[in-house]
Amino acid sequence: MVVGLHIETVIRAPIDRVWRHTRDPARHSRWDLRFTRIEPYGPDVNFRYATRLLPGLTIAGTGQTAGERHRPDGSATSALRFACDHPLSLIRAGSGFWRYQPTPDGVRFWTGYDYTPGWGRFGRYADRVFRPLLGWATAWSFDRLRLWLERGVPPERSRNQAVAEVSVRLMLAAAGLAAGLPAAALIGAAVLLIPPLPTTPAARRCRPRDHRPRYHQRRDPR
């Protein structure tokens, strides 16, 4: 049975700031790679979201807050449901939660969510590739949010820095291939092993204490 995605990070910032930057649609759309636009919608549908796949091609869906809970220890949980009826969307409907837990190291912020894929039988096979990519995008976005709140790096700047860094790595790899096999092996290893700059978002930083990837699949911890 396919189990929903679980992504987690720790952010050294006040919990109210983490709450605002994740719950406010305008702020959320700035750091979350999965969405191009998020906007409030109405009483029955809390928000609409859109993802631009190509110029002129945008997939849009709707979301509904399913409940919020604030505990005496300062932690909080927000649950939601979402759906999309666009024929090109692999995600048909799903649900998930965001949890905020104050710790001595900062706010432990994590999400768990799952969805029903569309496209029939082909969609179930396509989801085997799409689901890990979606988990990676969520983890990368969480680190982008962390950099924004901890270091004051705007999401737009961290995005541009990530693009520039990937471009440099690709150019180095191309130079290695042009130089021959030994050089290609050395440069290729360097491209893969050298960590991103501290102000460049990286999904690999979103790891739990046991060092498993935070976008591994596991059940809702509640």
Identify whether 57 is part of a domain: yes
Does one domain contain both 15 and 56?
Answer: yes
Q: Which residue has the tokens 């924004």?
A: 148
Does one domain contain both 128 and 176?
Answer: no
pLDDT (average), residues 104-120:
93
Identify whether 206 is part of a domain: no
Does one domain contain both 65 and 127?
Answer: yes
Does one domain contain both 34 and 85?
Answer: yes
Identify whether 109 is part of a domain: yes
- The maximal CA–CA distance of the chain, rounded, in angstroms, is 63
Does one domain contain both 166 and 65?
Answer: no
Q: Cα(38)–Cα(54) distance, rounded to whole angstroms?
A: 17
Does one domain contain both 149 and 163?
Answer: no
Identify whether 214 is part of a domain: no
Does one domain contain both 143 and 96?
Answer: yes
Does one domain contain both 184 and 76?
Answer: no
Question: What is the span of the domain harbouring residue 83?
Answer: 5-153
Full-model pTM: 0.85
CATH number of the domain at 55, please. 3.30.530.20
Torsion of CA 57, 59, 60, 64, to 10 degrees: -160
Does one domain contain both 41 and 141?
Answer: yes
Instruction: Kindly report the number of other CB atoms within 10 A of residue 182's CB atom.
Output: 9
Identify whether 132 is part of a domain: yes
Identify whether 36 is part of a domain: yes
Identify whether 215 is part of a domain: no
Structurally, the chain folds into a number of domains equal to 2
For 170-221, the pLDDT digits (tens) are 877 777 667 666 766 667 666 777 889 999 999 999 864 333 444 444 444 4
Identify whether 90 is part of a domain: yes
Does one domain contain both 121 and 159?
Answer: no
Q: What is the pLDDT of residue 41?
A: 73
Token pair belonging to 112: 């768990």
Lowest mean pLDDT among 64-68, 75-79, 136-140, 218-222: 218-222
Does one domain contain both 115 and 187?
Answer: no
Q: Is the pLDDT of residue 19 over 50?
A: yes
Q: Which residue has the tokens 């096999």?
A: 181
